[in-house]
Amino acid sequence: MTDGSADIGVYGLAVMGANLALNFAEKQHMVAVSNRSSGRISQFVDEAGSLKDRIVASADPEQFVRSLKRPRSVIIMVQAGTPVDQTIEVFRPFLEPGDTVIDAGNANFLDTVQRTQGLDGTGLHFVGMGVSGGEEGARHGPSIMVGGSKESWRILKAPLQKIAADYKGEPCCDYMGPDGAGHFVKTIHNGIEYADMQMIAEIYGIFRDGFGWDAPRTSDVFEKWNEGRLNSYLIEITGKTLATTDPKSGMPLVDIILDSAGQKGTGRWSVIEAQKLGVPASVMEAAVAARSMSSRLEERVTASGVFGRLTSSSIVEAESVSVGELEAALLAGKIAAYAQGFAVLEAASQEHGWNLPLQSVAKIWRAGCIIRSAFLDEIASAFDGAERDRNLMLAPVFTDMLRDSHQSLRKVVGNAVFAGIPVPALSAALAYLDDFRRYRGTANLIQAQRDFFGAHGFRRTDEAGDFHGPW
């Protein structure tokens, strides 16, 4: 097979793939593109404008592969699951040893490990690449988490770092480790994203149901918070969404959006993997469970009839929680959620032998991705010279922040609980912190119970060894 002229190939021209391809073209790369339906290919080329000259389009898989320079790099951006395997099979006969297939979708890292093994001995590289930043990120600079062989990283590093977001001159793209490492890091990114979003939604719920504030007024607070310690993309877009009016009804748009959230799986996978690793990830768990509860619309309507609908505005009546305390509570919850996320990453790194670069993870999340924030720069600094398995809450910068903010979290959770406003993720964050700092917990009783009914044994505080009680 002869060498083509394209530096990189993108297969799958739905919005994410199309935007990645345009991003490569804009950064001076020749890009080969293809798609299952050929109609979409011509439409993509027509819409590429001045970037058209750097695009080589082919509907035929062999032609697409031929249009690439050797060693070839083919990015697959299709729906996660079986379509990825089908696409690999389509290209496999035309690829040669040294070529790399890159899955840039939100794959389950276990599938990525399997796919890597599936190509073992063929000379082909398989890369599982986490890409975050949504449509805009893909087009103008995403955060990119690469997992695969070191050889494929050597080839991909320059082009990927060129299209990635940039944080003060540093590209938000790095090598995470072999096989599933990149997709695992992306999964935990999304788990944290779920936690962040849920805690923000809970605070919004307090403004709406506790303070009785309308969306525009609440928007002003989020806009202000975005200039302070909570500065982040998610706080920014919360302010913007709350300020948006529905052109049809003239009402705040959020007020007519159904309160039933979707989820594609990454949040759930984060929690499942945390459980498998034995790492507490209660804030993410609460966030995933809250989405599941939100989708049970009919049941919730029935329950509101049975138990009575939430009507409380006691928080504002008692003037018991200030806006400043809500801000501090959100910050404290955020610290707990990120501490959990990074603890899961560290445990997975050990379990799978990945040696995940935790500081680089924090660094490449500072820009481009959905959870991007000033806060991640502080996490990156906290890893400077620190033991990597130390809980982030023990890093001096976060210890200080928590000392200042945890009483606000307690006050907010306490008042919300009394008012009947659900705050599952914030409550989980508070419980995590309280459990973490509790000198003597209550697992002694669990051990006594286990020994009582199952002779499982326990250790004593005053003597080494394994003991049984005289039950």
Q: Which residues are catalytic?
A: 186, 193
Q: Does 424 bind ligand 6PG (CB under 6 A)?
A: no
Specify the stretch interacting with ligand 6PG by CB under 6 A; choose among 24-32, 216-224, 239-247, 263-271: 263-271
183 token code pair: 């997709």
Q: Using the rule CB under 6 A, is 369 a contact of ligand 6PG? A: yes
191 is a contact residue toward ligand 6PG (CB under 6 A): no
| Least distance between ligand 6PG and beta carbon 447 (Å) | 38
**Rounded distance between C-alpha atoms, residue 258 and residue 278, angstroms:** 35
Q: Are 109 and 187 contacting, i.e. CB atoms less than 8 angstroms apart? A: yes
Rounded Cα distance between 18 and 45, Å, is 10
The single residue among 132, 152, 226, 415 that binds ligand 6PG, judged by CB under 6 A, is: 132
Spatial contact of 372 and 233, defined as CB atoms under 8 Å apart: yes
Beta-carbon contacts of residue 265 (< 8 Å; ≥ 6 apart): 80, 106, 108
Max alpha carbon distance in the chain (Å)?
Answer: 82
What distance lies between CA 203 and its chain's CA centroid? 20
Q: Is 285 in the site for ligand 6PG (CB under 6 A)?
A: no
Give the interface segment with ligand 6PG, choosing from 211-219, 258-266, 329-337, 393-401 (CB under 6 A): 258-266
Determine if 460 is a binding residue for ligand 6PG (CB under 6 A).
Answer: no
Tokens of 218: 């609440």
Q: Which of 51, 237 has the CB closer to ligand 6PG?
A: 237
Sign of the CA dihedral running 24, 30, 34, 40: positive
* Of 266, 282, 340, 415, the one binding ligand 6PG by CB under 6 A: 266
134 contributes a contact to ligand 6PG by CB under 6 A:
yes
271, two tokens: 């929690």
Among 252, 267, 333, 341, binds ligand 6PG (CB under 6 A): 267
**Applying CB under 6 A, does 105 fall inside the site for ligand 6PG?**
no
The region of 128-136, 157-165, 358-366, 384-392 touching ligand 6PG under the rule CB under 6 A is 128-136
Cβ(173)–Cβ(160) below 8 Å: yes
Q: How far is the CB of 264 from ligand 6PG (least distance, A)?
A: 4
**Amino acid symbol at 221:** V
Q: Which of 43, 63, 263, 314 binds ligand 6PG (CB under 6 A)?
A: 263
Work out the burial of residue 157: count CB atoms within 10 Å of its CB; fewer than 13 is exposed, 13-18 middle, 19 or more buried.
Answer: middle
Positions in the binding site for ligand 6PG (CB under 6 A):
106, 132-134, 190, 193, 262-264, 266-267, 369-370
